[in-house]
Amino acid sequence: MFVLRFLVPYLGYLFSTFIKLTTKLTVVHGERRERLRAADRRFIYAFWHQRQVFFTVSHRGDKMAVLVSRSVDGEMISETIRRCCGVTAIRGSSTRGASDAVRQMITVLRSGLDLGITPDGPKGPKCEVKEGVMYLARKLGVPILPVTNASSNRLVLKKTWDQFQIPMPFGRSVVVYGEPIEVGPDDDLKAKAAELKRALDAITAEAEALVA
């Protein structure tokens, strides 16, 4: 088991590189992200847990940090993300290490990096936004940028809680951005979570249609 955990980050990097080299990628609504960058605003990427593998391909080299749980598997995931994307992993979740994670996020944002979060992770329910990401956006004072992806050639792990997707080589893939979502001090977090879910569902449907 130790050997496997040691090897997975390296194998993940090699696999991610192979996917990147053999996939035709299209970006849709990229101007939505560029507007935030032009205004020199930091933000939180929000994407469904099931689509995080291709995120390590499409956003490799981005100046960002990703929230990863403090579970044993989280250590392996954080190292894989670091090698695949060249990004920092912040360890914590809504149940473990939440306060420390918030402090790390504030430091990360001040250093000029963006954040990445799966609002339905790490255990679901599938494609349901937890209010924690809305709380973080309000606490940190940054907008949420919905983002998704779809691949024409992929493996779907149907027995996992979210039907986790693994992109396969020699396919077409698309990344779609939604409109940024602001969370003000007086906003209802439940309503904002529903707004983010609608946005993610809409752009995911758009992405799926583009690779069908």
Mind listing the pLDDT tens digit for each residue in 111-132? Answer: 899 999 999 988 899 999 999 8
- Local structure of 176: helix, strand or coil: strand
Instruction: Identify the weakest region by mean pLDDT among 28-32, 68-72, 150-154.
Output: 68-72
Provide the token pair at 121. Answer: 């992770």
Section 30-46 average pLDDT = 97
| Confidence (pLDDT) at 40 | 95
Q: What percent of the chain has pLDDT over 90?
A: 63
For residue 17, give its domain range.
2-211
In this prediction, residue 149 carries a pLDDT of 98
Structure tokens at 124: 């679901």
Whether the pLDDT of residue 87 is over 90: the answer is no
The pLDDT of residue 34 is 97
Q: What is the predicted pLDDT for the residue at 68?
A: 75
| Chain CA centroid to CA 10, Å | 20
Residue 162 CA, distance from chain mean position:
14
Beta bridge partners of 68: 91
Bigger pLDDT: 36 vs 79: 36
- Total domain count, the chain: 1
Looking from the CA of 40 toward its CB, the CA atoms found within 13 Å total: 3
E strand map for 104-191: 114-117, 144-151, 154-157, 164-167, 172-177
